[in-house]
Amino acid sequence: MKHEIRFIINGESRSLTVLSQQTLLEVLREDLGLTSPKHGCSTGECGACSVLLNGEVVNSCMVLAAEVDGADILTVEGLATDDELHPLQKSFIDHHGVQCGYCASGMLISAKALLNRTSRPHEEEIREALVGNLCRCGAYADIIKSIQVASRARR
């Protein structure tokens, strides 16, 4: 079954025809060319495909594209403005919050969701906010630090 959907992606309104069984991840990557959300498992375990759906972090491999009609979605492509990186991106660069980088988009999105809720999270809260994001390179310590520094820099 086909669905006409309209949604806001990274601040821009888009309409699109999708099939019932297509996941949001598939549509973002293959149809919209937004490749920052990554495929890591498609079973909700790794968080590499994380996006913000109406401000909340979700695994886009576990959302049907047809479900997001009317929603507001943010991927890492929409984090930076034309001339400035998002403070989280800057902080991840400065504090080595990235190694191979495959988990990075998901980490940034989880971090963004956390900072939307809590402006100055402490370490324990950051750890909790990231349990759904696997990093095989083990960069967790520096990712946590990057998020901490970014949250302090914000105000």
Ligand X SMILES: Cc1cc2nc3c(=O)[nH]c(=O)nc-3n(C[C@H](O)[C@H](O)[C@H](O)COP(=O)(O)OP(=O)(O)OC[C@H]3O[C@@H](n4cnc5c(N)ncnc54)[C@H](O)[C@@H]3O)c2cc1C
- Cα torsion 27, 35, 105, 118: sign: negative
DSSP letters spanning 65-103: GGGGTT-EEE-GGGTS-SS---HHHHHHHHTT--SS-TT
Kindly tell me which residue out of 18, 27, 28, 49 binds ligand FES, with binding defined by CB under 6 A.
Answer: 49
Count the site residues for other proteins by CB under 8 A: 77
Q: Which of 17, 85, 116, 119 binds other proteins (CB under 8 A)?
A: 85
Partner from ligand X, ligand FES, other proteins, none contacting 105, C-beta within 5 to 8 A by type:
other proteins
Tokens of 76: 């890492």
Contacts of 68 (CB under 8 A, 6+ apart): 5, 7, 24, 53
Q: Does 110 bind other proteins (CB under 8 A)?
A: yes
Using CB under 6 A as the binding rule, whether residue 35 contacts ligand FES is answered as no
Give residues in contact with ligand FES (CB under 6 A).
39-42, 44-49, 59, 61, 98-103, 135-137, 139
